[in-house]
């Protein structure tokens, strides 16, 4: 594991903050000054300002995010954050983002490699949303959403779309662009009133009230790891097709 990732897992700082500590010469690994490319073995002795550090145990948390909470570790505007809401003893961070007014399933972890895997669109992690919209999308609008919608940052990938009730739509996406569900629906003429993510990969919210969180089971962690074993990132040329 790279030194900055090791420091982040130890709860010292974010990876960016860890880079600054390393560049300032404040970190040593087995008595030698740490470098940005230093690899930390499992039995390495790491110190910050001469004080020994220990890596934190890996942690995996599912949060049923409420509205009005931002998906960051800290917020300059002083708004409540998902990290503060969970208040876990390990330094965990959210995987991906949900808008402040979007509710539902959010994974937080300190497992950097897994978080990177899950966040990469080429691993095609299902994200299931229920959207309440103004108006009632026509069959043509549903078909357009399913085929892909042209947005300012390019065409979206095909999605699974189901009309649940008048003005109520279920969408299953693999991508994670900024405000993607809202922009897709606006592109077909329907503004989103409320958006709730009911599932993230194999993780659903059954038995988990809004605003509450729980640790994942070993089985759930194993299920999350399956995409990283089974899928490989696409090349840039493949992603352009």
Which residues carry out catalysis?
99
Report the alpha-carbon distance of residue 128 to residue 197 in Å, rounded: 6
User: Which of 56, 46, 59 is CA-nearest to residue 8?
Assistant: 56
Structure tokens at 192: 């989103």
- The rounded distance, in Å, linking the Cα atoms of 39 and 91 is 20
Pair of tokens at residue 6:
């090791």
End-to-end CA distance of the chain: 34
Q: Which residues neighbour 238 within 8 Å (Cβ) at sequence distance 6 or greater?
A: none
Cβ atoms of residues 144 and 153 within 8 Å? no
């Amino acid at each position: 594991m790279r030194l900055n990732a090791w420091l982040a897992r130890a709860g010292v700082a974010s990876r960016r903050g860890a880079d600054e500590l390393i560049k300032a010469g404040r970190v040593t690994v087995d008595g030698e000054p740490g470098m940005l490319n230093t690899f930390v073995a499992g039995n390495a002795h790491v110190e910050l300002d001469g004080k020994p550090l220990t890596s934190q145990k890996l942690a995996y948390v599912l949060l049923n995010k409420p509205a009005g909470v931002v998906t960051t570790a800290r917020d300059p505007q002083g708004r409540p954050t998902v990290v503060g809401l969970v208040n876990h003893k390990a330094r965990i961070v959210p995987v991906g983002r949900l808008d402040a007014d979007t509710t539902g399933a959010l994974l937080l972890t300190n497992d950097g490699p897994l978080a990177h895997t899950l966040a990469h669109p080429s691993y095609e992690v299902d994200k299931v949303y229920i959207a309440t919209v103004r108006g009632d999308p026509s069959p043509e609008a549903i078909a357009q959403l399913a085929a892909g919608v042209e947005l300012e940052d390019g065409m979206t990938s095909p999605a699974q779309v189901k009309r649940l009730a008048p003005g109520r739509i279920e969408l299953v996406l693999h991508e994670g662009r900024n405000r993607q569900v809202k922009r897709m629906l606006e592109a077909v003429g329907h503004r989103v009133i409320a958006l709730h993510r009911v599932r993230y990969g194999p993780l659903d919210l059954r038995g988990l009230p809004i605003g509450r969180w729980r640790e994942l089971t070993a089985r759930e962690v194993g299920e999350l790891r399956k995409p990283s074993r089974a899928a490989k990132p696409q090349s840039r040329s493949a992603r352009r097709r």
